[in-house]
Structure 1
Amino acid sequence: MRTPSDGHYRDAVAEEPRGDGAQLASTLQFLRRRVGIILGGFLLVTGLSALLAYSFTPQYTAQAQLMIDARQVHVTDVQSVLSGLSAENAVLRSELDVLNSVPLMRRVAERLDLYNDPYFNPPEEPSRWAEWRDEGRKFLASVLPTNLVPAWALELEGPPASNLDEEAEQRWVIDRLLAKLKTDNDGRSYTIKLSFTSPDPEKSAEVVNAIVEQYLEDQLEAKLDATRSANEWLVQRLNELGAEVREAELAVREYRETHGLIESRGETVGEQQLAEINAQLVMAQVERSQAEARLRAARSGNPEGLRDVEGATILWHLRSEEAALRRREAEQASRYGPLHPEMQKMQAERADVQAKLREETGRVVQSLGIAVQEAIAKEEALATALAGLRQDSSGTQRAEVELNELIRQAESISAIYANFLRRYRETSEQEGLQRPDARVVSSAETPSVPSFPRPALMMGAGGMLGLLLGLMIAAVLELIDRGYRLSNQLERDTGLPVLGVEPLLRSRLEPSTYALAKPYSAFSEGVQGLRMSLQLTPEEGPHRVIMVTSSVPSEGKTSLCLTLGRMAARSGARTLLVEADLRRPRMAYRLKLRPRAFLADVLDGTHRLDEAVVEDKFSGMHILASRHGVSSPLERVASRRMAAFIESVRHRYDLVLLDTPPIMAVADAGPLAKISDAVVFVVRWGHTPRDTVKAALRKLAVVDIAVTGIVLSQVDLRKQATYGYGDYGYHYDRYKGYYAE
């Protein structure tokens, strides 16, 4: 068996572009060949998006903005009962929870009377069964006489009562309210955004503003309630503390009276007496010392110490008079002698003055002595009294310790009472200055444009999704596409040359008939190219016996045999088509032949070849068909008679075509390949799995059968052009003018 030369094979291999340009070209080719799926996905999803967009009920979203105000207004320098909110993230999240709380929504629902709103609490529709039942009752009442109508048929039920109780209905409304409410904080500001969505734009704005107002009112009420509660508690506590203060002060007073600790000018009577006696004792001691000093001065004759003593003036005059007499006597002594009468007279006067001075001095000393005794007696009396008072004060001091404890308790309670009273006055004044911790940045306005659906946005998103879906489907189809699309794929995987490409025929005519009717069509030219590849072999000469086979059925090998044979016969070559498939022969049925004998009959020797062949009326090709029910088909095609038959027709015909069974199905093709000049393996474009093709070729290689080449059948030239460079279909648009379809 002959094979094509290496040079012929190299010429059949197409060079593949490489590099970044090849990758881009491959991507563009992928998009080109799958553009229908991608565009279909785009149009389908876009259309569905548009249908959905215009089928939905328009929804309107109203939005308001609140800001947690971290600033505090201080009109008076007092501390609030309930402090303001700090603008921390946790606080903001807590306020979001408050805005989404059930109690707040319940108050909003009551404020707007949402329980009677058809959107929030739609009336329950009667069930289909109830409608059928009422219709049946009406029908019975209309067809039967009144006296025969059952009582239950006359009792038509009114609209069905709701199965939900009042609490469940309220909960339903609140849940619906919460489902349509959206609150958000971006985490970078103190602003809270509230939005509500409903089919009614005015209702949306009304609900959002009601929620904002109720939220602010709740904040203010919370502060006012806290202040009122604090005031009530303060009043109660003030009453209790007032009673305690009175009791403590009364206890102090009673203790003072019981223990004689009555105060006067901040001191007790005992303390005042002790201080007074102590002062009197000191004064008595001073007086005693002064009296003793005067007494000593009087005894010593020193009149300077007797200035404030009664009689001191008389003594002073007497001493002055005595001093004057002494001066006169001293003056007269130089003039008169001691016996002079004048001198004696002055001496007698001086003696008289001295006598008076001694008398007066004695009287003064006596009076000063009495004064000293009185001063001593007074001092001793005061000292005795002071000692007694001091002895009494020791018991008084122990009582004062307990008294001081009672006083401290009374003062402590009084201080607490004063603080509570001050705080009560502050909170009372603060009640009118309370304000919410949040303020409205922007109120909700009635929206004029629906927030949902947005047809343009939905169609755009649908288009993107459709493109993505189309690309995914296209990619999946590419991944699961296990067929061969390009000749170089076949040559690279199998190591065999592709002898020709049989274009896909889009006609109802039988392919071989079409080839005869349109000899200049792309299909006919493709088969002609295959014929030339098989016949024009420069080294070995033309192949006379050509076996055509495939890996699995429906690859187009029979059509290829018919077309190749008819075109060869039309060109003048003596051609014989042998249907070597003894298991599923279809040639006679397909061409509506009525042969007198079949291949098995010729092999058995019951009929001659001339009796069995049928001449094709369109081309003159001879056809040797097979029939059903042939026993031992493998033994017949592998027999010597078959080899002898092939050898005989080799010299009788210019071209003998053997249409054989698929290789993967049965082993009949192996013996026939041994006696053939060339083995043509048909692979259906994009259909035959690659692994199946490789398995079939391995099966032939096991029995040492070399395949001459491969034919890529039923090739869609336009689609093939999207798979790569160099193949027959890639340049089809350029040279299609050469064909006459």
Structure 2
Amino acid sequence: MSQQQLSEINSQLIIARTQRAEAEARVRQVQRLVRQGGEVGSVSEVLNSSLIQRLKEQESALQRKHSEMSVEFGKKHPKMIHLQAELGDINAKIKSEVQKIAVSLQNELEVAQTREYSLRSSLKQIQEETGGDREAAVGLRALEREASANRILFETFLTRFKETTSTQGMGEANARVISEAEVPSGASFPKKKLLLIVSVLGGLFFSIVLVFVLEMLNPGLRSPEQVEEHLRLPTLGVIPSSTSKLEAHDYVLDKPHSSLTEAINSLRVSLMLLNPDEQVKTLLVTSAVPSEGKSVLAMLIARISAQVGQKVVLVDTDFRRPTLEKKLGIDTSQPGLTDLLMQHDLAVSEVLLTDEKTGMKVLSRGMSSYVNPSDLFASKRMQNILDELKNEFDLVILDSPPVMAVTDSRVLSRMVDKTLFVLRWDDTPRKVVKAALQQMAQSGADNVAGIILQQVDLKQYGRSGYGTANLF
């Protein structure tokens, strides 16, 4: 309790000293201004007085009035004398109020000094009273430490005494316990966590290596990027495979908003953008090897172009394995291209057939016998037929045989505006495609517009990381 009182009085003494110092500072300020003849009204206590503020306002108003009336009246005018008397009265009141504030400040200083003196006396008295308590507390702590040490020593002797008493008459063993055995928390071998981590990392590494090996062993082309890298040609279209039971050339008519139809429309736009100043009117569709889907692609382009209002003619120039007649249900006993080439008196309009679903024209293989198709295609008659078709139709599409099988495509490619090279997605070996393109280049066919990836599996295409966004 004495220590608590001592702390409280000490805190109050500090506060009292601070208040006394502040009061002394205010009193000294007033005294200095009085000695120097300064304006006592600048002191904060004076400025904060509401009465003085009101008197100052009245003084300011009377001074303004005095200034205004001094112009009109003289100094000895009764009104001026009365106004000066009011000003003197207000100044006297202000000085009286300032004197009261100065006296109040002096009183506050005396009260603060008295309170500080009282607290100092109380602090001194409590310090004298607690002096003896401190000496007694020191002696008490010394006695407590001695008693605690004696208690510990007694307990140690008592424990050893009990141990000695309990072991009397018993034989001492030849062994002693050095340390207690610890119960294991798990098996020391095998280390399951380490084996699991190694197995996961090993499996991941093996999977990555396997993917790279399979990618290297795969001879086909899967993306436009690979086509650009290996063949140095742009990819004009990525045509998805049709999962419908309908034939692809019938499916695009029944499903005008399907992905297959959109892919063909995207290809048509790419063909139009190849040369904006000059329309592509004759188009050759070929491939490196059979079963690439070139004939299906030629029918798709022809039917969709005819459906949007173009005048289209589809010409079957694959004399050895004609496909268009079977796909479109054309009577093979009708005259066709071979008849036009062999019989010069036969007109083109006499052999053209009409597709009932789209209205496009079809020039089938024909019935006339021949010796070598390449000689027929290289003839002047073939060039005249193409020129006549080009003048009459907006788009002439030639379905030609594979490049690696025969030389027909190399001959025909020099007669058309552009050539589309079809390869089957993830199937046709890139070396075969390169060899076919080199043969066409050697024969003077420099109008290969680009590559068409045919029969693309959209799900696998997306899983491979290329994304379906590249299709259209």
TM-score range, shorter chain: 0.5 to 0.7
**Structure 1 residues 313-360: Cα deviation after superposition (integer angstroms, max 9, x where no partner):** xxxxxxxxxxxxxxxxxxxxxxxxxxxxxxxxxxxxxxxxxxxxxxxx
Is 1:496 the counterpart of 2:233 in the alignment? Answer: yes
Is 1:579 the counterpart of 2:316 in the alignment? Answer: yes
User: What is the distance in 1 between the residues matched to 2:210 and 2:320?
Assistant: 40
User: What is the distance in 1 between the residues matched to 2:207 and 2:355?
Assistant: 49
**Structure 1 residues 484-505: Cα deviation after superposition (integer angstroms, max 9, x where no partner):** 1111221222222211221222
**Structure 1 residues 245-297: Cα deviation after superposition (integer angstroms, max 9, x where no partner):** xxxxxxxxxxxxxxxxxxxxxxxxxxxxxxxxxxxxxxxxxxxxxxxxxxxxx
What displacement does 1:623 show? 1.0
Give the corresponding residue for 2:147.
none
SS of 2:291's partner is coil
Give the corresponding residue for 2:350.
611
Counterparts of 1:548-697 in structure 2 under 5 Å? 548-595=285-332, 596-605=334-343, 607-627=346-366, 630-697=370-437
Give the corresponding residue for 1:389.
none
User: What is the distance in 1 between the residues matched to 2:199 and 2:229?
Assistant: 42
User: What is the distance in 2 between the residues matched to 1:627 and 1:464?
Assistant: 65
Q: How does the TM-score come out when normalised to structure 2?
A: 0.54
User: What is the distance in 2 between the residues matched to 1:701 and 1:731?
Assistant: 28
The amino acid of 1:601's aligned partner reads D
SS of 1:714's partner is strand
User: What is the distance in 1 between the residues matched to 2:328 and 2:198?
Assistant: 56
Which ranges in structure 1 are unaligned for 5 or more consecutive residues? Answer: 1-457, 736-741
**Structure 1 residues 89-130: Cα deviation after superposition (integer angstroms, max 9, x where no partner):** xxxxxxxxxxxxxxxxxxxxxxxxxxxxxxxxxxxxxxxxxx
**Structure 1 residues 687-723: Cα deviation after superposition (integer angstroms, max 9, x where no partner):** 1111111111111111221112111112223322344
What displacement does 1:607 show? 3.9
User: What is the distance in 1 between the residues matched to 2:370 and 2:240?
Assistant: 34
What displacement does 1:556 show? 1.0
Q: What is the RMSD of the two structures over their aligned residues, measured on CA atoms? A: 3.2
Is 1:721 the counterpart of 2:466 in the alignment? Answer: no
SS of 2:330's partner is coil
The alpha-carbon distance between structure 1 residues 517 and 532, as it changes in their structure 2 partners (threshold 3 A), is same
Counterparts of 1:173-322 in structure 2 under 5 Å? none
Q: Is the 8 A contact 1:585 1:627 kept in 2?
A: no
SS of 1:708's partner is strand
Identity percentage of aligned residues: 36
Is 1:507 the counterpart of 2:232 in the alignment? Answer: no
Segment drifting more, 704-713 vs 458-467: 458-467
**Structure 1 residues 575-599: Cα deviation after superposition (integer angstroms, max 9, x where no partner):** 0000011111122122221152121
The amino acid of 2:233's aligned partner reads L
Which ranges in structure 2 are unaligned for 5 or more consecutive residues? Answer: 1-194
The amino acid of 2:350's aligned partner reads E
User: What is the distance in 2 between the residues matched to 1:467 and 1:623?
Assistant: 56
The amino acid of 1:710's aligned partner reads I
What displacement does 1:627 show? 4.9
Is 1:522 the counterpart of 2:259 in the alignment? Answer: yes
The alpha-carbon distance between structure 1 residues 464 and 583, as it changes in their structure 2 partners (threshold 3 A), is same
Q: Is the 8 A contact 2:339 2:366 kept in 1?
A: no
What displacement does 1:609 show? 2.4
Give the corresponding residue for 1:292.
none
User: What is the distance in 2 between the residues matched to 1:694 and 1:550?
Assistant: 11
User: What is the distance in 2 between the residues matched to 1:666 and 1:459?
Assistant: 59
User: What is the distance in 2 between the residues matched to 1:466 and 1:489?
Assistant: 28
The amino acid of 2:364's aligned partner reads A
Q: Is the 8 A contact 1:486 1:723 kept in 2?
A: no
The amino acid of 2:335's aligned partner reads A
The amino acid of 1:633's aligned partner reads P
The alpha-carbon distance between structure 1 residues 630 and 461, as it changes in their structure 2 partners (threshold 3 A), is farther
**Structure 1 residues 212-243: Cα deviation after superposition (integer angstroms, max 9, x where no partner):** xxxxxxxxxxxxxxxxxxxxxxxxxxxxxxxx
Q: Is the 8 A contact 2:236 2:267 kept in 1?
A: yes
The structure showing larger relative contact order (alpha-carbon pairs under 8 Å, at least 6 residues apart) is 1
SS of 2:298's partner is helix
User: What is the distance in 1 between the residues matched to 2:470 and 2:411?
Assistant: 39
Residues matched between the structures, number = 280
What displacement does 1:656 show? 0.2
What displacement does 1:631 show? 2.5
Give the corresponding residue for 2:452.
711
Q: Is the 8 A contact 1:545 1:650 kept in 2?
A: yes
The alpha-carbon distance between structure 1 residues 508 and 465, as it changes in their structure 2 partners (threshold 3 A), is farther
SS of 1:543's partner is coil
**Structure 1 residues 404-439: Cα deviation after superposition (integer angstroms, max 9, x where no partner):** xxxxxxxxxxxxxxxxxxxxxxxxxxxxxxxxxxxx
What displacement does 1:520 show? 1.0
SS of 1:512's partner is helix
What displacement does 1:630 show? 4.1
Q: Is the 8 A contact 2:295 2:323 kept in 1?
A: no
SS of 2:386's partner is helix
Q: Is the 8 A contact 1:484 1:687 kept in 2?
A: yes
Q: How does the TM-score come out when normalised to structure 1?
A: 0.35
Counterparts of 1:94-493 in structure 2 under 5 Å? 474-493=211-230
Segment drifting more, 462-471 vs 569-578: 462-471
The alpha-carbon distance between structure 1 residues 616 and 466, as it changes in their structure 2 partners (threshold 3 A), is farther
What displacement does 1:474 show? 4.2
Q: Is the 8 A contact 2:348 2:385 kept in 1?
A: no
What displacement does 1:508 show? 1.9
What displacement does 1:677 show? 0.6
User: What is the distance in 2 between the residues matched to 1:461 and 1:533?
Assistant: 51
What displacement does 1:468 show? 7.8
User: What is the distance in 1 between the residues matched to 2:469 and 2:202?
Assistant: 32
What displacement does 1:568 show? 0.5
The alpha-carbon distance between structure 1 residues 686 and 608, as it changes in their structure 2 partners (threshold 3 A), is same
SS of 2:286's partner is strand
User: What is the distance in 2 between the residues matched to 1:467 and 1:538?
Assistant: 49
The alpha-carbon distance between structure 1 residues 626 and 466, as it changes in their structure 2 partners (threshold 3 A), is farther
The amino acid of 1:588's aligned partner reads E
User: What is the distance in 1 between the residues matched to 2:254 and 2:266?
Assistant: 18
Q: Is the 8 A contact 1:552 1:662 kept in 2?
A: yes
SS of 2:460's partner is helix
